[in-house]
Amino acid sequence: MVVDDSAVVRGLIARSLDEDPGITVVARAENGQAALIQMDHVEMDVVILDLEMPVMDGMTALPLMLARRPGVKVIIASTLTLRNARLCLETLQAGATDYVSKPDGSMAQAQDFHRQLLAKIKAIGGAAPSPQSPPSGPVRPASRPAFARTERPSVIAIGGSTGAPPVLIRLFEALRGAVDLPILVAQHMPAMFTTLLAEQLGRVGDRPCAEATDGEPIRPGRAYVAPGGWHMTAEGRGDDRVLRLNQEPPEHFCRPAVDPLFRSVARTYGAGAVAVILTGMGSDGALGCRVMAEAGGRFVVQDEATSVVWGMPGAAARTGLAEAILPIPEIGAWLKRVAA
């Protein structure tokens, strides 16, 4: 179902989705109240929900939708403003599955919006996987890779995408006051979203956390989030390790991407690196995890049962080098044990 107060936007989204044989738009609604009425009469898997609408806005409608249809997945589609970015993060905490930024009118942005929306619907709605989905295959988590070491780590690197922001918040809450290692986060998010995510993580984790800046020293007890539109990497040795930002081509259609961060952490920290791959679509992070494990580092992945999309963690697990496949509550406990 497509929910937007603009008839033009509803029509454009619906027509573009109907062109895909794996997707059927079963309903359209001009506001949250009309959408709730539709939910009483039409079966649906995914709702595309605008935030700013008359009668009943998206924030008000979201919890009512989830209560009425507990299994439905909601993707927020909104214009990219600071206020809407803040609201989008709130909706993710309230149960929305993902978000996508509406185009500003340019053809390139419109095409990117369509590509992202199509991929997200297929990933979370049970449609056939796209060519970018991780290949199927056996999952063989290792109790301990043969080349892993037991020395105390020097850094924690975390990568995530669809469904990961609420998990990050739970992780930072779990690590509060217990882990003093620097934490480097690459989350698939546009600019403004990453600024607000860093603020949230700083509050719940009770540690300084902000978007990274180029050349910034990596310090214990701090957390750094890759800014939207930039890859974040680590370089240096010993006490002279710093963060670098670049705008090299996107990887896995993303910038920031997880693989560039993990590869650089493997080079910079070697056996002192620990990583976590959280829920997300696609396979970003799997190659970086392999490089990290081969350098002597360790990584774990979020399990399928607690993941919104077991794309990224599944791909990393299929390397056969993951130390463990863990549900959300056990990831924080594992990090605390390793850090100690």
Cβ–Cβ < 8 Å for 295, 266: yes
Q: Which is catalytic among the residues 50, 284, 303, 307?
A: 284
Retrieve residue 159's tokens.
């990568």
240 is catalytic: no
Catalytic-role residue among 161, 264, 283, 307: 161
For the chain, the farthest-separated pair of C-alpha atoms sits apart, in whole angstroms, at 62
The CA-atom distances, in angstroms, between 159 and each of 67, 84, 316 are: 30, 24, 11
Indicate which residue of 188, 259, 283, 307 is catalytic.
Answer: 188
| β strands within the chain, DSSP E | 2-3, 28-29, 46-49, 73-78, 98-101, 155-160, 183-187, 209-211, 223-225, 231-235, 242-246, 273-277, 298-302, 324-326
How far apart CA 273 and CA 286 sit, in angstroms, is 15
Q: Is 114 a catalytic residue?
A: no
Using alpha carbons, list the distances in angstroms from residue 189 to 103, 108, 208: 15, 18, 20
- Residue 256: asked if its preceding bond is cis (omega within 30°), the reply is yes
Active-site annotation holds for 188: yes
8-state DSSP, 55? S
- Residue type present at position 177: G
Task: Report the candidate in 203, 264, 210 with the shortest Cα–Cα distance to residue 237.
Answer: 264
Instruction: Give residue for tokens 């975390």.
Output: 158
Q: Catalytic amino acids?
A: 161, 188, 284
